Amino acid sequence: MYLRSMYYKIGDKLNDVRHIIRQVTSPVIEEGIVRKNSSVRYELPSGDYFTSGSTIEYFFTYSDGESRWIYSRIEHIGEDYYIVDNSNIQLEGLLVRVNQLPTWE
């Protein structure tokens, strides 16, 4: 029983690695500033929008001036959406990008 539970944990971690590899190796298909649309969802200039569970890469500048793309996801709480890894970031006006993820089975 112990070994089986450990194998399940290993499988979960390997699945996480698979998702990260998919993200970093897939091409960027859109980059832009998000705004809140009339449906109260955050959308890119193309009209593609983010909802709960959507993955997102956002451009973040740290207090020391270093900037980088951060991978996270969007969730909804109460009246608005937020970025899971940093709920203090305001989505309106944020530079984000979307990758074309391959379908792996």
Answer yes or no: is pLDDT of 103 > 80: no
Q: Is residue 88 part of a domain?
A: yes
Answer yes or no: is pLDDT of 64 > 70: yes
Q: Is residue 71 part of a domain?
A: yes
Q: Is residue 47 part of a domain?
A: yes
Q: What is the predicted pLDDT for the residue at 25?
A: 82
Q: Look at the chain and report how many structural domains it folds into.
A: 1
Q: Is residue 86 part of a domain?
A: yes
Report the predicted TM-score, pTM, of the whole model to 2 decimal places. 0.77
Q: What is the predicted pLDDT for the residue at 104?
A: 60
The CATH number linked to 40 is: 2.40.10.390
Write out pLDDT tens, residues 23-45: 888 889 999 999 999 999 999 99
Sheet holding 67-77, edge to edge: 28-33, 95-99, 55-61, 67-77, 80-83
User: How far apart are the two ends of the chain, measured CA to CA in Å?
Assistant: 28
Q: What is the C-alpha separation between 75 and 55, in angstroms, rounded? A: 9
Q: Which domain holds residue 66?
A: 28-99
How many other C-beta atoms are found inside a 10 Å radius of the C-beta of residue 73? Answer: 13
Q: Is residue 76 part of a domain?
A: yes
Mean pLDDT of 71-94: 92
